[in-house]
Amino acid sequence: MIFHIRSEKRLTLLLKNAPLLMLAASLALATGCKTAPTPGAMAPRANDEIMVAGQRFHTGTKVVLWTDPGGYDAYRVERRFAPLEKSGWEASHEEVKELQSPNRYNTRRGTLTPEQIEEVRGGGWPLPMLQDVVDQFVLHFDVCGTSRQCFNILQDHRDLSVHFMLDVDGTIYQTLDLKERAWHATTSNNRSVGIEIANIGAYSNEEKSPLGEWYKQEKGRTRITIPESFGGDSALRTKGFVGYSARPEPVKGVIQGRELTQYDYTPEQYEALAHLTAALCKIFPKITCDYPKDTSGNLITHKLSDADLKNYHGVMGHYHVQTDKVDPGPALQWDRLITKAQKLRYAGFTKTVEDTSKGQSRSPFGAGN
Protein backbone atom coordinates (compact mmCIF):
# COMPACT_ATOMS: atom_id res chain seq x y z
CA MET A 1 0.00 0.00 0.00
CA ILE A 2 2.79 2.44 0.93
CA PHE A 3 4.61 1.59 -2.35
CA HIS A 4 1.43 2.35 -4.32
CA ILE A 5 0.99 5.76 -2.65
CA ARG A 6 4.60 6.72 -3.32
CA SER A 7 4.28 5.72 -6.99
CA GLU A 8 1.19 7.89 -7.31
CA LYS A 9 3.04 10.85 -5.78
CA ARG A 10 5.97 10.41 -8.18
CA LEU A 11 3.57 10.24 -11.15
CA THR A 12 1.77 13.39 -9.97
CA LEU A 13 5.12 15.19 -9.60
CA LEU A 14 6.19 14.17 -13.10
CA LEU A 15 2.91 15.34 -14.64
CA LYS A 16 3.12 18.62 -12.75
CA ASN A 17 6.64 19.30 -14.06
CA ALA A 18 6.03 17.94 -17.57
CA PRO A 19 5.98 21.43 -19.21
CA LEU A 20 9.34 22.28 -17.66
CA LEU A 21 10.84 18.97 -18.73
CA MET A 22 9.60 19.47 -22.31
CA LEU A 23 11.05 23.00 -22.36
CA ALA A 24 14.42 21.71 -21.16
CA ALA A 25 14.38 19.01 -23.81
CA SER A 26 13.55 21.55 -26.52
CA LEU A 27 16.39 23.83 -25.43
CA ALA A 28 18.79 20.91 -25.47
CA LEU A 29 17.76 20.04 -29.01
CA ALA A 30 18.00 23.67 -30.14
CA THR A 31 21.51 24.09 -28.78
CA GLY A 32 22.63 20.70 -30.02
CA CYS A 33 23.38 19.48 -26.48
CA LYS A 34 26.77 21.16 -26.70
CA THR A 35 29.45 19.86 -24.39
CA ALA A 36 32.96 21.05 -23.62
CA PRO A 37 35.41 20.06 -26.38
CA THR A 38 37.58 17.06 -25.67
CA PRO A 39 41.26 17.98 -25.12
CA GLY A 40 43.22 17.15 -28.24
CA ALA A 41 40.14 16.99 -30.48
CA MET A 42 40.63 18.56 -33.91
CA ALA A 43 38.65 21.77 -34.49
CA PRO A 44 36.75 21.30 -37.77
CA ARG A 45 37.25 23.66 -40.69
CA ALA A 46 35.16 24.29 -43.77
CA ASN A 47 38.22 25.43 -45.80
CA ASP A 48 36.45 28.65 -46.75
CA GLU A 49 37.64 30.70 -43.79
CA ILE A 50 39.74 33.84 -43.83
CA MET A 51 41.73 35.09 -40.83
CA VAL A 52 40.91 38.51 -39.39
CA ALA A 53 42.60 39.60 -36.15
CA GLY A 54 43.13 35.95 -35.25
CA GLN A 55 39.47 35.05 -35.81
CA ARG A 56 38.12 32.94 -38.67
CA PHE A 57 35.25 34.08 -40.86
CA HIS A 58 33.45 32.08 -43.54
CA THR A 59 33.40 33.25 -47.16
CA GLY A 60 31.54 30.46 -48.93
CA THR A 61 34.40 29.91 -51.38
CA LYS A 62 37.66 27.92 -51.34
CA VAL A 63 40.42 29.59 -49.30
CA VAL A 64 43.95 28.34 -48.63
CA LEU A 65 45.55 29.97 -45.59
CA TRP A 66 49.29 30.60 -45.24
CA THR A 67 49.26 27.90 -42.55
CA ASP A 68 47.80 25.28 -44.92
CA PRO A 69 49.82 22.82 -46.99
CA GLY A 70 50.49 24.47 -50.33
CA GLY A 71 49.78 27.92 -48.91
CA TYR A 72 51.87 31.06 -49.35
CA ASP A 73 53.33 32.54 -46.16
CA ALA A 74 54.27 36.23 -46.31
CA TYR A 75 55.36 36.17 -42.67
CA ARG A 76 58.51 34.25 -43.56
CA VAL A 77 61.67 36.23 -44.30
CA GLU A 78 63.29 33.68 -46.63
CA ARG A 79 62.62 33.41 -50.33
CA ARG A 80 60.06 30.73 -51.18
CA PHE A 81 61.43 29.56 -54.53
CA ALA A 82 65.18 30.08 -54.15
CA PRO A 83 67.47 27.08 -53.43
CA LEU A 84 67.08 26.27 -49.73
CA GLU A 85 70.70 27.00 -48.88
CA LYS A 86 70.39 30.47 -50.46
CA SER A 87 66.86 31.32 -49.31
CA GLY A 88 67.74 32.92 -45.93
CA TRP A 89 67.59 36.68 -45.46
CA GLU A 90 71.33 37.41 -45.58
CA ALA A 91 71.87 35.45 -48.80
CA SER A 92 68.66 36.83 -50.30
CA HIS A 93 69.61 40.43 -49.56
CA GLU A 94 73.01 39.85 -51.14
CA GLU A 95 71.63 38.23 -54.30
CA VAL A 96 68.50 40.39 -54.80
CA LYS A 97 69.34 44.04 -54.23
CA GLU A 98 65.65 45.04 -54.45
CA LEU A 99 65.04 43.24 -51.14
CA GLN A 100 65.70 45.85 -48.49
CA SER A 101 63.69 44.48 -45.58
CA PRO A 102 63.33 40.96 -44.20
CA ASN A 103 59.66 41.74 -43.50
CA ARG A 104 57.38 42.72 -46.38
CA TYR A 105 54.63 44.10 -44.10
CA ASN A 106 54.26 46.13 -40.91
CA THR A 107 51.67 47.46 -38.44
CA ARG A 108 48.61 49.52 -39.42
CA ARG A 109 49.55 52.36 -37.11
CA GLY A 110 48.86 55.39 -39.30
CA THR A 111 45.65 56.42 -37.52
CA LEU A 112 46.26 54.81 -34.11
CA THR A 113 46.94 56.69 -30.90
CA PRO A 114 50.19 55.98 -29.02
CA GLU A 115 48.15 53.95 -26.52
CA GLN A 116 46.58 51.85 -29.29
CA ILE A 117 49.99 51.25 -30.90
CA GLU A 118 51.29 49.90 -27.62
CA GLU A 119 48.24 47.65 -27.37
CA VAL A 120 48.72 46.04 -30.80
CA ARG A 121 52.49 46.10 -31.26
CA GLY A 122 52.76 42.68 -29.66
CA GLY A 123 50.68 41.22 -32.48
CA GLY A 124 47.09 40.97 -31.27
CA TRP A 125 44.35 43.33 -32.44
CA PRO A 126 40.87 43.76 -30.95
CA LEU A 127 38.51 43.25 -33.89
CA PRO A 128 36.56 46.50 -33.28
CA MET A 129 39.78 48.50 -33.49
CA LEU A 130 40.68 46.88 -36.82
CA GLN A 131 37.15 47.46 -38.11
CA ASP A 132 37.58 51.14 -37.35
CA VAL A 133 40.79 51.30 -39.44
CA VAL A 134 39.99 49.25 -42.58
CA ASP A 135 37.63 50.86 -45.09
CA GLN A 136 38.99 50.00 -48.58
CA PHE A 137 39.35 46.81 -50.64
CA VAL A 138 41.88 47.29 -53.46
CA LEU A 139 41.81 45.05 -56.55
CA HIS A 140 44.97 44.37 -58.57
CA PHE A 141 45.83 42.17 -61.52
CA ASP A 142 49.14 40.46 -60.93
CA VAL A 143 50.66 40.54 -64.49
CA CYS A 144 52.03 37.13 -63.49
CA GLY A 145 49.24 34.91 -64.76
CA THR A 146 49.18 32.58 -61.73
CA SER A 147 49.21 33.06 -57.97
CA ARG A 148 52.32 30.90 -57.71
CA GLN A 149 54.28 33.25 -59.95
CA CYS A 150 52.76 36.26 -58.19
CA PHE A 151 54.06 35.15 -54.81
CA ASN A 152 57.43 34.41 -56.38
CA ILE A 153 57.69 38.01 -57.55
CA LEU A 154 56.37 39.59 -54.34
CA GLN A 155 58.29 37.44 -51.85
CA ASP A 156 61.48 36.53 -53.71
CA HIS A 157 62.12 39.60 -55.87
CA ARG A 158 60.27 42.63 -54.49
CA ASP A 159 59.72 44.27 -51.11
CA LEU A 160 55.96 43.81 -51.54
CA SER A 161 53.08 41.82 -50.10
CA VAL A 162 49.32 41.45 -50.42
CA HIS A 163 46.69 39.89 -48.20
CA PHE A 164 45.05 37.73 -50.87
CA MET A 165 45.85 36.18 -54.23
CA LEU A 166 43.10 34.83 -56.51
CA ASP A 167 44.18 32.17 -59.01
CA VAL A 168 42.57 31.45 -62.38
CA ASP A 169 40.84 28.34 -60.97
CA GLY A 170 39.06 30.43 -58.32
CA THR A 171 41.32 29.41 -55.41
CA ILE A 172 41.93 32.23 -52.96
CA TYR A 173 45.22 32.27 -51.05
CA GLN A 174 45.55 34.36 -47.89
CA THR A 175 49.17 35.24 -47.09
CA LEU A 176 48.75 37.48 -44.02
CA ASP A 177 46.19 38.12 -41.29
CA LEU A 178 44.19 41.21 -42.25
CA LYS A 179 45.46 42.98 -39.15
CA GLU A 180 48.77 43.43 -40.99
CA ARG A 181 49.61 46.40 -43.19
CA ALA A 182 50.52 44.74 -46.48
CA TRP A 183 52.62 46.69 -48.98
CA HIS A 184 50.53 46.82 -52.14
CA ALA A 185 48.89 50.23 -52.66
CA THR A 186 51.14 53.04 -51.30
CA THR A 187 48.93 55.66 -49.63
CA SER A 188 46.06 53.22 -49.07
CA ASN A 189 48.14 50.51 -47.39
CA ASN A 190 47.22 51.51 -43.86
CA ARG A 191 43.47 51.41 -44.44
CA SER A 192 43.03 48.71 -47.06
CA VAL A 193 42.86 45.00 -47.79
CA GLY A 194 44.51 44.02 -51.08
CA ILE A 195 44.08 41.18 -53.56
CA GLU A 196 46.16 40.21 -56.59
CA ILE A 197 43.96 38.56 -59.24
CA ALA A 198 45.81 36.21 -61.60
CA ASN A 199 45.73 37.79 -65.06
CA ILE A 200 48.59 38.55 -67.43
CA GLY A 201 47.48 42.18 -67.71
CA ALA A 202 46.36 44.94 -70.07
CA TYR A 203 48.46 46.45 -72.87
CA SER A 204 48.45 49.38 -75.28
CA ASN A 205 49.17 49.00 -78.98
CA GLU A 206 52.64 50.43 -78.39
CA GLU A 207 53.60 47.78 -75.83
CA LYS A 208 54.91 44.29 -76.38
CA SER A 209 52.03 42.06 -75.39
CA PRO A 210 52.09 38.44 -74.12
CA LEU A 211 48.35 37.99 -74.77
CA GLY A 212 48.93 35.84 -77.86
CA GLU A 213 51.02 33.40 -75.81
CA TRP A 214 48.55 33.19 -72.93
CA TYR A 215 45.21 32.93 -74.76
CA LYS A 216 44.05 30.62 -77.55
CA GLN A 217 40.72 30.40 -79.38
CA GLU A 218 38.98 27.08 -78.84
CA LYS A 219 35.47 26.34 -80.22
CA GLY A 220 34.15 29.83 -79.72
CA ARG A 221 35.81 30.31 -76.35
CA THR A 222 39.16 31.72 -75.27
CA ARG A 223 41.28 29.29 -73.29
CA ILE A 224 44.06 30.30 -70.91
CA THR A 225 47.30 28.56 -71.86
CA ILE A 226 49.84 28.89 -69.07
CA PRO A 227 53.34 28.74 -70.59
CA GLU A 228 55.62 25.98 -69.34
CA SER A 229 58.08 28.63 -68.18
CA PHE A 230 55.37 29.64 -65.67
CA GLY A 231 54.77 26.05 -64.59
CA GLY A 232 52.03 25.21 -67.10
CA ASP A 233 48.79 23.77 -65.76
CA SER A 234 50.69 22.19 -62.85
CA ALA A 235 51.02 25.67 -61.36
CA LEU A 236 47.34 25.51 -60.35
CA ARG A 237 45.96 23.86 -57.21
CA THR A 238 42.98 22.33 -59.06
CA LYS A 239 44.41 19.44 -61.04
CA GLY A 240 43.18 19.21 -64.62
CA PHE A 241 41.59 22.65 -64.50
CA VAL A 242 41.00 24.32 -67.86
CA GLY A 243 40.45 28.06 -67.61
CA TYR A 244 38.49 30.21 -70.01
CA SER A 245 38.08 33.97 -70.20
CA ALA A 246 34.57 35.03 -69.15
CA ARG A 247 34.27 36.73 -72.56
CA PRO A 248 35.81 35.24 -75.70
CA GLU A 249 36.95 38.48 -77.30
CA PRO A 250 39.67 40.76 -75.92
CA VAL A 251 38.25 43.78 -74.12
CA LYS A 252 39.35 47.30 -75.07
CA GLY A 253 38.94 50.22 -72.74
CA VAL A 254 40.48 53.42 -71.46
CA ILE A 255 42.22 53.55 -68.08
CA GLN A 256 44.18 56.62 -66.95
CA GLY A 257 43.55 58.07 -70.42
CA ARG A 258 45.27 55.13 -72.16
CA GLU A 259 43.52 52.69 -74.49
CA LEU A 260 44.31 49.18 -73.33
CA THR A 261 43.50 45.62 -74.40
CA GLN A 262 42.95 42.81 -71.91
CA TYR A 263 41.27 39.41 -71.72
CA ASP A 264 38.57 39.01 -69.09
CA TYR A 265 38.94 37.10 -65.83
CA THR A 266 37.56 33.57 -65.48
CA PRO A 267 34.02 32.83 -64.25
CA GLU A 268 35.61 31.01 -61.31
CA GLN A 269 37.48 34.17 -60.36
CA TYR A 270 34.32 36.30 -60.49
CA GLU A 271 32.45 33.82 -58.29
CA ALA A 272 35.22 33.59 -55.69
CA LEU A 273 35.87 37.34 -55.70
CA ALA A 274 32.18 38.10 -55.17
CA HIS A 275 32.10 35.82 -52.11
CA LEU A 276 35.26 37.38 -50.67
CA THR A 277 34.01 40.90 -51.35
CA ALA A 278 30.70 40.16 -49.62
CA ALA A 279 32.53 38.71 -46.62
CA LEU A 280 34.89 41.67 -46.31
CA CYS A 281 32.06 44.20 -46.62
CA LYS A 282 30.26 42.44 -43.78
CA ILE A 283 33.31 41.99 -41.54
CA PHE A 284 34.40 45.61 -42.12
CA PRO A 285 31.27 47.78 -42.05
CA LYS A 286 33.20 50.80 -43.34
CA ILE A 287 33.88 49.07 -46.70
CA THR A 288 30.87 50.05 -48.79
CA CYS A 289 29.96 47.27 -51.23
CA ASP A 290 30.31 49.44 -54.32
CA TYR A 291 32.94 50.94 -56.67
CA PRO A 292 33.99 54.57 -57.41
CA LYS A 293 31.44 56.36 -59.60
CA ASP A 294 31.14 59.80 -61.14
CA THR A 295 28.12 62.08 -60.75
CA SER A 296 26.37 60.18 -63.57
CA GLY A 297 26.85 56.86 -61.82
CA ASN A 298 29.53 55.62 -64.21
CA LEU A 299 32.76 53.87 -63.19
CA ILE A 300 35.63 56.29 -62.65
CA THR A 301 38.54 55.05 -64.78
CA HIS A 302 41.36 57.17 -63.40
CA LYS A 303 43.00 58.02 -60.09
CA LEU A 304 40.73 59.66 -57.58
CA SER A 305 41.67 63.14 -56.47
CA ASP A 306 43.53 63.24 -53.18
CA ALA A 307 40.44 64.60 -51.43
CA ASP A 308 38.13 61.97 -52.96
CA LEU A 309 40.57 59.17 -52.18
CA LYS A 310 40.81 60.32 -48.57
CA ASN A 311 37.02 60.23 -48.24
CA TYR A 312 36.42 57.04 -50.23
CA HIS A 313 35.26 53.90 -48.41
CA GLY A 314 34.61 50.87 -50.58
CA VAL A 315 35.87 48.52 -53.29
CA MET A 316 38.32 50.06 -55.76
CA GLY A 317 41.04 49.43 -58.32
CA HIS A 318 44.74 50.03 -57.94
CA TYR A 319 44.41 52.74 -60.59
CA HIS A 320 42.07 54.66 -58.29
CA VAL A 321 45.02 55.03 -55.89
CA GLN A 322 47.99 55.71 -58.19
CA THR A 323 48.37 57.46 -61.56
CA ASP A 324 51.03 55.00 -62.74
CA LYS A 325 48.76 51.93 -62.35
CA VAL A 326 46.06 50.52 -64.65
CA ASP A 327 45.00 47.40 -62.75
CA PRO A 328 42.61 45.64 -62.59
CA GLY A 329 42.29 46.86 -66.18
CA PRO A 330 39.39 47.54 -68.55
CA ALA A 331 38.15 43.92 -68.63
CA LEU A 332 36.90 43.71 -65.04
CA GLN A 333 33.09 43.64 -64.99
CA TRP A 334 32.47 45.84 -61.96
CA ASP A 335 28.68 45.57 -62.08
CA ARG A 336 28.83 41.78 -62.33
CA LEU A 337 31.12 41.62 -59.32
CA ILE A 338 29.34 44.14 -57.10
CA THR A 339 25.80 42.98 -57.92
CA LYS A 340 26.68 39.41 -56.92
CA ALA A 341 28.59 40.56 -53.84
CA GLN A 342 25.69 42.74 -52.69
CA LYS A 343 23.24 39.85 -53.05
CA LEU A 344 25.54 37.63 -51.00
CA ARG A 345 26.11 40.39 -48.47
CA TYR A 346 22.42 41.18 -48.11
CA ALA A 347 21.13 37.58 -48.04
CA GLY A 348 20.02 37.33 -51.67
CA PHE A 349 18.65 40.87 -51.99
CA THR A 350 20.25 43.96 -53.47
CA LYS A 351 21.38 46.76 -51.18
CA THR A 352 18.47 48.90 -52.46
CA VAL A 353 15.92 46.32 -51.30
CA GLU A 354 17.77 45.93 -48.01
CA ASP A 355 17.78 49.69 -47.40
CA THR A 356 14.12 50.06 -48.41
CA SER A 357 12.93 47.24 -46.19
CA LYS A 358 15.30 48.17 -43.35
CA GLY A 359 16.31 44.53 -43.22
CA GLN A 360 12.75 43.21 -42.75
CA SER A 361 12.85 41.24 -46.01
CA ARG A 362 15.88 39.26 -44.87
CA SER A 363 15.29 35.67 -43.87
CA PRO A 364 16.10 35.09 -40.20
CA PHE A 365 18.07 32.02 -41.28
CA GLY A 366 19.87 33.66 -44.25
CA ALA A 367 23.53 34.38 -44.75
CA GLY A 368 23.00 38.07 -44.08
CA ASN A 369 22.54 37.69 -40.35
DSSP summary character for residue 362 = S
Decide: pTM greater than 0.75. Answer: yes
Residue ranges per structural domain of the chain: 49-201+262-357
Alpha carbons 154 and 258: distance in angstroms, whole number: 26
Among residues 163, 170, 175, which one has the least CA distance to residue 237? 170
For residue 174, list its beta bridge partners: 164
From first to last of its 369 residues, the chain has per-residue pLDDT tens of 544 545 555 555 555 665 655 655 555 555 556 678 899 999 889 999 999 999 999 999 999 999 999 999 999 999 999 999 999 999 999 999 999 999 999 999 999 999 999 999 987 999 999 999 999 999 999 999 999 999 999 999 999 999 999 999 999 999 999 999 999 999 999 999 999 999 999 999 999 999 999 999 999 999 999 999 999 988 999 999 999 999 999 999 999 999 999 999 999 999 999 999 999 999 999 999 999 999 999 999 999 999 999 999 999 999 999 999 999 999 999 999 999 999 999 876 556 555 554 544 443 333 333
Q: What is the DSSP string of 56-80?
A: EEE-SS-EE-TTSTT---TT--S-S
Cβ atoms within 10 A of the Cβ of 329, count? Answer: 27
CA distances to 93, 96, 154 from 86, rounded to whole Å, are: 10, 11, 17
CATH for 49-201+262-357? 3.40.80.10
